[in-house]
Chain A
Amino acid sequence: MKKRRVGMVYFEIERCKGCGFCVEFCPSGILRFSTTYNEKGYHYPVAEHPEKCTGCNNCGLYCPDYAIWGEASEDNPE
């Protein structure tokens, strides 16, 4: 049986200033820095394992720039 995705992480990369809080404090450790730059010249986060996101929104609470947030998906059995 295919495992259902429980959460989804969203990005607004042009707002990111590359502080790295989301990469450090993601409890599932699914984020990493991009190799490319955004418009302002910062490395933004990308989801390396998006299927592991739990939608806890810890990244959204830690992001000072409102550039990332997680949401539990609708088919979450919770």
Chain B
Amino acid sequence: MADTMHFDLVSPERRLDSYEAREVRLPGAEGQFTAMPDHAPVITTLRPGLVVVTAADGAVKSYAVTGGFAEITQGGTAVLAERAYTATADNKAEVEAHLEAARRKADEAPEEHRDAAHLLVDDLVQLIEDMV
């Protein structure tokens, strides 16, 4: 069994990061899960949250994503996020701006989408707390 797999973090504008990783923790639509090498192929949408990657040398890096999707294949894990930041306190402001927009949207959302919109807001609040 392979020890590492390839990890890609891609935004629409450019490839943000790409290296070998031991495991990747993802905020999946149906709950958090960790992808390790030789994980069964999955495509999942992501909620706002932290993507935590353990690199081949053991270094841990975390990224804040505000949504997107992840593709796990034989070759590795690719995270396609519309926006991703390194999860440090410096970048909190950026996510907070996003939260403001989401709040406004949630208030205006029609009845049937309101729950989903509020869930998104909650996820973002949690994400900001997690960013240290």
Task: Decide if A and B are genuine partners.
Answer: no
A residues engaging B (CB < 8 A)? none
Enumerate chain B interface residues (CB-CB to A < 8 A).
none
